[in-house]
Structure 1
Amino acid sequence: MAGSATPLTPGGLVVVQPLRRKRCAGCRRGPLPLLVLEDGVPRCLDCADLGHLVFLPRGDTALTRRAREESALSAVVVRFNRRRGRYERQGLLVEQEALGRAEARCLADAEARRRRRARDARRRAVEDERFAAAFAAEIVRLYPGCPAERARRMAAHASARGSGRVGRSAAGRALSESAVISAVVAAVRHEDTPYDRLLMSGVPRYEARRRIAAAVAGVLREWEEMTGVG
């Protein structure tokens, strides 16, 4: 299978979801949905003495943590991601009784965890709003002719949580001048020039940027020189 070396998890057992059809080297059953690599050969869960465990998919952090705590025997389930060239966790194998106890614990404090998530979401929303306001203020400081509403839109776009845009980078969070300028240039490029149409017509990105560079520079120069409006 791809990535033939056994994936390692410190202090725990590892079970693999194979990418190719595999048979157990012991009982010859197959194809195996899950297997354990022992001495480089595949074994089914029954032959590896793990057949009594049940699969808990990833996704619920609290349930996964508690199921592991409750289970005397557990194993991490992984699958090889060819594109990324590494094994990635898919879930956990745990004892059925342990999973039941973990689910009961989660149900017992579900309301408390829901309230905590809601508080965290409100806190993040306030933080994001304050940061976007600071980012917009920095845009207006650098470009006093930029309309305030436009600055707010650019700041909200650049600083959206989880977007991976420049506003969420370390430089962006520090409100560095280079990061703010990069966000403004990107916004002008897409909204005030034919850049997107050039890309859609097949013009290479760097050539498209060269063609609209003067237009971008013109907008920025106008914003630098004008008195702020809006």
Structure 2
Amino acid sequence: MSDLTVIEPRRPRHCAECHQGPYPRLFMESDTPRCLDCADLGHLVYLPRGDTALTRRASEYSTLSAVVVRFNRNRGRYERQGILVEEEALARAEEACLADEESRARRRTRDAQRRTTQDAAFTTVLAAEISRLYPSCPPERAQEIASHASLRGSGRVGRSAAGRALNEHATTAAVRASVRHVDTPYDELLMAGTPRNAARSVVSLAIEAVLAAWRTPTAPHPNSAPPA
């Protein structure tokens, strides 16, 4: 860190050398305030605090730099406000940070694409498992259930550890939830003010009927040719 310190005075102060001012920033030398031009710092540009990466790089790239501070009366201490650096160093630091941001953006895009591919693959596997457990479940419905249950960030059963492991109980829970909301009047009962447990009790037999029908393999058509 630079040993040069520039202050932002709390009250108007003039330069002790050129007697001009008041100035928003002064370089203190042996308790004598000098403006930045008289202190040979006038060619530096101000970079306020806030962007840690930009500040760090600008400080590294600048041959000459100074820390800008202001006295905080409540805390009884000087606090950093920013830095003064060479303009070329700041421009170089900005370019480097921009390149980093572009790199991070590309990485985020790649990560999102990878997650999308992984999610699509898992949804396909989950749909196949639903079809295995419930062979008479329409394929498009199995896909719909799998997509709903495995939505990233949803907190649904397909995102749980058991769901990702294709645990039969978790898979059945996803199918049961779908049947409850789609194939029974459960949602209408809730909207009508029926307590949740009571609504579940009302639709339980209808759910079991659908699940039982889906568990039964579809019988082959009587006129279908036997397998070779």
Establish whether TM, by shorter chain, passes 0.5: yes
5+ residue gaps, structure 2, are 1-47, 58-79, 85-89, 221-228
| 1:123 paired to 2:110 | no
Larger Cα-atom Rg: 2
Letter in 2 for 1:214: L
| 1:179 paired to 2:170 | yes
CA distance in 1, matches of 2:109, 2:82: 31
User: Structure 1 pair 154/102, CA: closer, same or farther in 2 (3 Å)?
Assistant: farther
Alignment RMSD, CA only? 3.2
CA distance in 2, matches of 1:102, 1:216: 63
5+ residue gaps, structure 1, are 1-52, 57-62, 71-93
| 1:145 paired to 2:106 | no
Aligned to 2:194: 203
Letter in 1 for 2:200: R
User: Structure 1 pair 109/136, CA: closer, same or farther in 2 (3 Å)?
Assistant: same
Residues 117-148 of structure 1, C-alpha deviation per residue, up to 9 Å, x if partnerless? 11111111110000000100110010000011
User: Structure 1 pair 104/225, CA: closer, same or farther in 2 (3 Å)?
Assistant: same
Aligned to 1:160: 151
Match of 1:218 among 202, 209, 212: 209
- Secondary structure at 1:109 match in 2: helix
**Paired residues for 1:1-230 under 5 Å:** 66=53, 96-97=82-83, 105-227=96-218
Task: Count how many residue pairs are aligned between Structure 1 and Structure 2.
Answer: 149
Residues 80-115 of structure 1, C-alpha deviation per residue, up to 9 Å, x if partnerless? xxxxxxxxxxxxxx86449x8986643122222222
Letter in 2 for 1:204: P
User: Structure 1 pair 228/201, CA: closer, same or farther in 2 (3 Å)?
Assistant: farther
Aligned to 2:26: none
Give the structure-1-normalised TM-score. 0.57
Letter in 2 for 1:137: A
CA distance in 2, matches of 1:105, 1:95: 22
CA distance in 1, matches of 2:93, 2:205: 62
Give the structure-2-normalised TM-score. 0.57
CA distance in 2, matches of 1:67, 1:207: 60
User: Structure 1 pair 198/112, CA: closer, same or farther in 2 (3 Å)?
Assistant: same
CA distance in 1, matches of 2:200, 2:102: 52
